[in-house]
Structure 1
Amino acid sequence: MTSSIKPIESRSVTEQVTNELRRSIVAGDLAPGSTFSLRSIADQLHVSFIPVREALRNLEGEGLVITRPGRSAQVTPLDLEDLRAIYRLRGNLEPALARESCLVITDAELDRLHEQAVEYGKTHHSIHTVFEAHHAFHAEILAPAATSWDLRVLNSVWRAAERYIRIGFGKQNPGENTRIKGEHERLIEVFRGRDPDAVAAAVLSHLKENEQSARLALVDEPRAVALEF
């Protein structure tokens, strides 16, 4: 059992336990395929058994854990077919939303997102810090065209994709912050052109490159070093 889960100092609500377990799974602190008892998690988080059980139900619904008979659970293993399904969903939804969003998102919002993208390139940020912020970037650039249900679905598949990417990346590549900065600056520039076809194509290309990088990491190819959520 890993010791990297951060203890929750006081009795926690289920949402807090869910968030901490999700963070540990997505970051790879709880390894894919690993099993653990609900009691051991409760002890590490300094909470009772009940919120852990409820949190695991939430995470099972997100595809991150598999609950087992008795009081144990397994972190869902990584799988090529699951990765393909994740990116099929993203490829159907994100380019379509981007086509609409580019016509209504304001210049001021694009300026703000550009500043956010520039921030990714600063070398004092760890790759994990960049991933945390860049989830919000993708939500915000699509938000003008997205419904609450779109965002619920996207949040679920983004978390699933991020787990593959962050675990596959392993340790930070010194040039990765600069690469991520450049990728997102280019997306902003395409959005500024207000051409729905060009925007949809750019988003789809972005997703295909990310999926390929994740696939290479999953089969342990040494080339898989340029990974991104």
Structure 2
Amino acid sequence: MARQLTPRSSSSVGDEKPIGMGRAAGQVVIELERMIVSGELLPGQPIRQESMAERLGVSRLPIREGLRHLAAEGLVSHVPNVGYTVARLEQSEFDQIYLMRAALEPSVLRSLPHLAATDLEDVRAAGAEVTAAAGRTDLLEMRLRNHDFHFAMFDRSPLRLVVAELRRLWTMAMPYHAVYLFDPEARKRVLAEHDAMIEALAVGDNERLVTLMAEHRQGGESGTAMVLQAGGTLT
């Protein structure tokens, strides 16, 4: 049965329709991003336009438009006369994502204003959702809510273009983070680092926040890279 596309929560990954794109194609982008990030579509998996159009309840035109957009964003790969597949990161590409994150995230965090109580509460609430997902060992939910936690901070930066690029980089790497979170000790470490970030944010210590984020990023990078180096796949 065809699935009708509907708008999703503004706190979710890929929640904003790309600028200049029609509504149907924009919703296709949102839905395909969700499938990729959640692992419903795996790295290297073909995306059949006809079956996807039937599944999402749209014509093939918005499917093609959405896939072209995702190819430009690096989430899917396209081979002429063959078709589209979910992008599979090589180790060198994964390294570049983290190189760019390391270059951009400090500037974003340093640009954050001292947060009002209501804004800080939003960040705390996002952190609590990560903790709740970890308590249920719901790794998909933990990945999604982890994204929300960080962007609850990043989105308060005035550096909008930089934040938009960070969002793209995070989305590209998210399918690979599931393996890192399988480790109970890694989950504990993530939660403890989140708590420390909130403490730094609460007192307006942006330099401390930059340092904590660097340690946090390094843990995710090293844990996930082991799978890429071994040529492993996500399940």
- TM-score band, normalised by shorter chain: 0.7 to 0.9
Aligned match of 2:228? 218
Structure 1 stretches lacking a partner, 5+ long? 1-5, 223-229
Structure 2 stretches lacking a partner, 5+ long? 7-22
What secondary structure, in the 3-state scheme, does the structure 2 residue paired with 1:198 have?
Answer: helix
Aligned match of 1:144? 156
The answer to whether the 8 A contact 1:120-1:180 is kept is no
What secondary structure, in the 3-state scheme, does the structure 1 residue paired with 2:77 have?
Answer: strand
Query: Do residues 59 (structure 1) and 70 (structure 2) align?
Result: yes
Using the aligned pairs only, state the percent identity. 26
Give me the whole-angstrom Cα distance separating, in 2, the residues matched to 1:178 and 1:141: 21
Report how far residue 112 of structure 1 moved. Answer: 3.2
Give me the whole-angstrom Cα distance separating, in 2, the residues matched to 1:42 and 1:117: 36
TM-score (norm 1): 0.80
Report how far residue 131 of structure 1 moved. Answer: 2.1
Report how far residue 135 of structure 1 moved. Answer: 1.8
What secondary structure, in the 3-state scheme, does the structure 1 residue paired with 2:151 have?
Answer: helix
The answer to whether the 8 A contact 2:131-2:191 is kept is yes
Query: Do residues 197 (structure 1) and 213 (structure 2) align?
Result: no
The answer to whether the 8 A contact 2:5-2:57 is kept is yes
Report how far residue 104 of structure 1 moved. Answer: 2.2
- Paired residue type of 2:163: L
Report how far residue 46 of structure 1 moved. Answer: 2.9
The answer to whether the 8 A contact 2:4-2:57 is kept is yes
**Cα distance, 1:20–1:112 mapped onto 2, change above 3 Å:** closer
- Paired residue type of 1:146: P
The answer to whether the 8 A contact 1:36-1:73 is kept is yes
Report how far residue 201 of structure 1 moved. Answer: 1.3
Q: Once the two structures are superposed, what CA deviation does each residue of 1:102-150 show, in whole Å capped at 9, x if it has no partner? A: x522244223322331232222472212222222221221233233212
The answer to whether the 8 A contact 1:190-1:199 is kept is yes
The answer to whether the 8 A contact 2:5-2:28 is kept is no
What secondary structure, in the 3-state scheme, does the structure 2 residue paired with 1:78 have?
Answer: coil
**Cα distance, 1:146–1:154 mapped onto 2, change above 3 Å:** farther
Q: Once the two structures are superposed, what CA deviation does each residue of 1:37-71 show, in whole Å capped at 9, x if it has no partner? A: 32222233232111110110111011011122236
Aligned runs of 1:165-204 on 2, under 5 Å?
Answer: 165-166=177-178, 168-169=179-180, 172=182, 178-204=188-214
What secondary structure, in the 3-state scheme, does the structure 2 residue paired with 1:129 have?
Answer: helix
- Paired residue type of 1:127: L
1:78 to 86, 89, 98: 89
Report how far residue 191 of structure 1 moved. Answer: 2.1
Aligned match of 1:16? 27
**Cα distance, 1:7–1:120 mapped onto 2, change above 3 Å:** farther
Give me the whole-angstrom Cα distance separating, in 2, the residues matched to 1:183 and 1:152: 24
Q: How many residues align?
A: 214
